[in-house]
A and B are shown apart, each in its own frame.
Chain A
Amino acid sequence: MKARIKVMLKNGVLDPQGKAIEGALGTLGFPNVASVRQGKYFEVDIAESDAAKARAAIDEMSKKLLANTVIENYAIELDEK
């Protein structure tokens, strides 16, 4: 089973990399860019056929390692195929 995990900085947490990218987009001639936030994206292939179990495991992985919940939120998408 495949899971996709998106990790983003929480609202209000300063994202200097996103700001720098935003500035570069302006320089490239995209004047209408209002803001950019940078995040992380993971694909995890898990050997588990039970969707609930897989989701619970991915949730725990996200909490324990993939995201640092002091500053980041995460969202999980599960491919139940």
Chain B
Amino acid sequence: MSSATLPVRISSIDRRVALRWARDNGVYVALAVLLIYNIFFTPRFMTLENLNVQLVLATRVIVVALGMAMVIGTAGIDLSVGAVMALSGALLVQFSGLPAVLAIVLALLIGGLVGVLNGFLVGVVGIQPIVATLAFLFAGRSLAQLLLVGRNPSIQDQTILSIGSGKIFGISGLVIAAAVAVSLVALIMRRTTFGRQLLAVGDNARASFLSGVPVRRTLIGVYVLSGVLAAWAGVMDTASITSANALSSGLNYELFAITAVVVGGTPLSGGRVRVVGTVAAAILMQLLSSTLIFHSATDAISQMVTAVVIVVAVYIQRVRSQA
């Protein structure tokens, strides 16, 4: 890549700075452009009501993507999240006779358990994250199906239902549920030793190991967090559709989450986690597809646009490997 390709001649350092700025802030710029576009060109889009609907639709991807962002921060990947969502939803329904809090805790526990398994395979046995988590992507959804055995039971518990459809001060329960997850992850990444160790492992696992970072424990911890967050998204999903569906709950969420993380500016090579960027990217992808649908484009077109956005985002990120 030479600077000659640019219309204005800029020194390579300026160019690098510009590219880095684009990488770090591209998602916010894109979000702003999209919102401004909608003010002028999409009738009935920029209403408080619609924006709230869009935000609610994005909540589950946001929660899953945050866990994914931390895993990707360790230079790993977690393909099991969609299956964990389905499984935790199935468990939530299974335990819905119990007090709500207990049922939710048990559903989250399964996410943690899957995380321990994934983390053990990656951190202790040393299997590539993509394979280690691929196994549960296969098994998890099928286990959920076996658990529900073709039934489609609905949730009666009012406390759980209020997560899905309740409102506090006009703010939807799902938005609050996602906000809890966002704050938790932001806190972990900004204020805890674990957050720093996670980044160190992603940056250079061997150097971290030699300088005394508990690499194994960190890796297991990060997959547990990802599993618990995915399970939390499963609880949210099940609460909002009021029943568990092993076939559709969380389907392809691993892909949506990875998209949000990448578009949000977290490099796949690890060592960096962008929490706010990830949230913004998840909202961006949701707004983008619904903007297209408002303009009567089909779902098919919105998928193709998603593809282009992903490629553009990683192209901008290439600056990291050149820096």
The answer on A and B forming one complex is: no
- Which residues in A have some Cβ–Cβ distance to B below 8 Å? none
- Which residues in B have some Cβ–Cβ distance to A below 8 Å? none
